[in-house]
Chains A and B, each alone.
Chain A
Amino acid sequence: MVFEEILSMFIGIFTDYTLRYVALGSAILGITSGALGCFTVLRKQSLFGDALSHAALPGIGLAYLLVGTKDSLFLMFGAAIFAWFGGIVTLAITSTTRIKQDAALGITLSVFFGLGIVFLTYLQSIGGASQGGLDRFLFGQAAALIESDVINLGILAAICFAILIIFFKEFKIATFDSSFGQSLGFPTKYVNALLTTVIVVSVVIGLHTVGVVLMVAMLIAPAAAAKQWTSSLKSMIILSAIFGGVSGIVGSMISSTSEGMSTGPVIVITITTILGISLLFSPKQGYLFQYFQKKRQYQKNFDQISTVSNEVKNGVDKKSQVN
């Protein structure tokens, strides 16, 4: 019975109009943020994504205020600009004061988010019901994705991937050894800026589907899961993109089966489950493997000790015999 249900869910992807776009949109998000999230995790900037996604909120409000349409492209543009600005402010605070990165992130995140709320409530007070759709950026509303949205998301994701492929070498060097890159003459500053831009774009894609608050999980969790299985950057990115895409599809399928289950949180729970499985079962790095390895090591040590002590004993016996 369960099997039949799952089967019908799969068929649903191809037949059900809404579900198809929801799943497709979530998959696009998962793939992009999964691939790019690898860089944030490796650069120890995991929470940077969190600050960026919160900082994007006023951009959405302001874009709506200026343009007056809910066309997703304009809103995304506004969001991207503010997210970028938020990133710059964070970097400026850490580089010009003695405030540490975490506090700087907290400042950007909360202040920009507060500003965003101010814009949204201002729109509410002047606009009536028409701006109701803006609220969905808080938690995302994958269920409301329509064809044009998905096409926009797809184009943005394609651009991200093109940049990622073209500048793969530069990104890699900037991530692992930026001073080495600088000494080779790579324009590290520009590479970093480009990388931040691409991450901003993936964050903006995510605002549509999982929303401001949960976006950070989409960046970190797939990358962290992929990291458990491989140590090469290329395969980590591919694996992480697969994890992200799968959890996007699975999450949107699960949420479609029950009423009132919002897609974003379900996707996040799915990807965290994948991470949990990876942490437990991955070969070489997983908890289980390490547990057994430790046990085997103990056994080995114990055997060795017992043989040694036997030898010593026997040796002592022999000695006493000689005497």
Chain B
Amino acid sequence: MIPEVGNFALVLALCVALTQGTLPLLGAHLNRQQWVALARPAAVAQALLLAIAFGCLTTAFVQNDFSVVYVAQHSNTLLPLQYRVAAVWGGHEGSLLLWVVMLVLWTLAVALRSTQLPEAMVARVLGVLGLVSAGFLLFILFTSNPFERLLPGAAEGRDLNPLLQDPGLIIHPPMLYMGYVGFSVAFAFAIAALLSGQLDAAWARWSRPWTTAAWVFLTIGIALGSWWAYYELGWGGWWFWDPVENASFMPWLIGTALVHSLAVTEKRGSFKNWTVLLAISAFSLSLLGTFLVRSGVLTSVHAFATDPRRGIFILVFLGTVIGSSLALFAWRAPKVGLGGRFGLLSRESLLLTNNVLLVVACASVLLGTLYPLLIDALGAGKLSVGPPYFDAVFVPLMLPAVFLMGVAPCARWKHASVRELARTLRWAFVAAAVVGVGAPFLFGEWKPLVALSLLLAAWIVFSALLNLFERVQSTRAGQPFLAAVRRQPRSFFGMHLAHVGISVFIVGVTMVGAYQAEKDVKMEPGDTVSVGGYSFRFNGVREEKGPNYRALVGDIDLLKNGAAVRKMFPEKRFYVASSMPMTEAAIDTGFLRDVYVSLGEPIDKARPDAAWAVRVYYKPFVDWIWGGCVLMAMGGLLAISDRRYRIKARSAAPAPAVTTASLAQNA
């Protein structure tokens, strides 16, 4: 009964989404107030219906209702409750449902928090979101219905893929999807602006916090995924340039460019077309990511669904959504003006350079991801593009971008002078150079690339501090210094916090890349192996039973200078229902390093109590990678909480820089 309710709720939600996607848009166009007024209630109704559907599917999982195909495929009576709940989005159908749930949550948020926006604008934004939602609901109902019945029901479910039975899975996909889907709001604002012809600073100010919020979620989602791969895949790697990872990274790169471009559009009215194009691209890449992962076009660890029919639907959907948006863009963009003018060296031009670098980096990732597909499509054989390609292209592109991160916040809008910038920043550069050149000596071998990376990381921090100091000095007007610091807007701190996050991230990546140590060894019980100043004593393996698996648990003493630090218990699990083996690494996490042990296989399969192949790692600063991401996300949150976004009664009049006159003048 419950699955039928869920199914019915989905059908109703589709009807509501279609209404929401048509009448308000038409109403805004034809100036019919009753139709425009439908947008908000429709958004609320859709959210309620999808909450019901999602609740029904969750109930089916909690109750082990194996007469539902999706539940039978992804759950098992032995599966612990928290994973049964997480299994709701452990497969194709459920994760799509999660996608739409996220979409309607964003829609609801826009509907409720947009009281200061003109009604027509709200109607257009919600209408576009309704159309996107309708597309996904059609997709779910026709090709991937999670409520499909299996009659007679299975006695037992197949179990969730053991790789996904992990706390990381409980939060990683929802966060990632919040980010992916969040760009739909920026997209809807851009389309609404194109439709209405009102591309102005007010539009940029409205869509800015939404874009930043999506970016924050995506940052956290990607970081969680990377952290999950690090501890769950048992290889100690934190990024593999896997197509699925790239699928989430590309929207992030474009989203980052969009956040910066929106800043220019809001403050100076420039880059409007460019911003719109980025907003369309960010959402398009989110859809493309969904497409690549869900259709199985690229096979990889994560691509669990291989069904061409679904792929064709997504492709048609993708073609319709993006194709029509780009057509709308091509039609409307020529009429939009250039906005505020700026000098060759100005904050605008620096941000533009940053944008170009990010977009080019994204394009190179896209190329590396799709190239094997292209070659295969041309029948020219199978090949793969390995991580070295991405490293070789990505790092050189990001080095200048990171350098500019220190310069741009200090540069003036409109026109900046080289001499002034050099004077302001020289001490930051000297200090960064000292740190960059000196710090590698502390970690043993001095490597030029490490020095360069650390220099840039320090450069970001010092230039941010300097920028803060200068800004406070110039605005304090006799006040005490700290009081003046507190008076700076939150978005200013947010920006620098996010930049410092990048710096912390760079330190993590650099240090773990340059100074990590690893060993694969055979260990008899009683053997000791040393890596990175730590010793590991292997005391053998014992058998244990988990709720839905049996495990061989290694018993390892971690020693430093002969003194015991702690015990570590890496596991080799065998999941009963799926008969899949899984490696669970044991990790000792520290501020400055991780120590990581995972079990390979017994040397003699018949004697798991004897010698094992064991892999041990020493990973300096590895947690800074994710710590940096957390700082970036916190920076984003701080920026959203800036009070200028909370002033409700603010007039929606366009900023002076982009009056109609200037539009006409530049057209």
State whether these chains interact.
no
The chain B residues found within 8 Å of chain A, CB to CB, are none
Interface set of A (CB-CB < 8 Å, partner B)? none
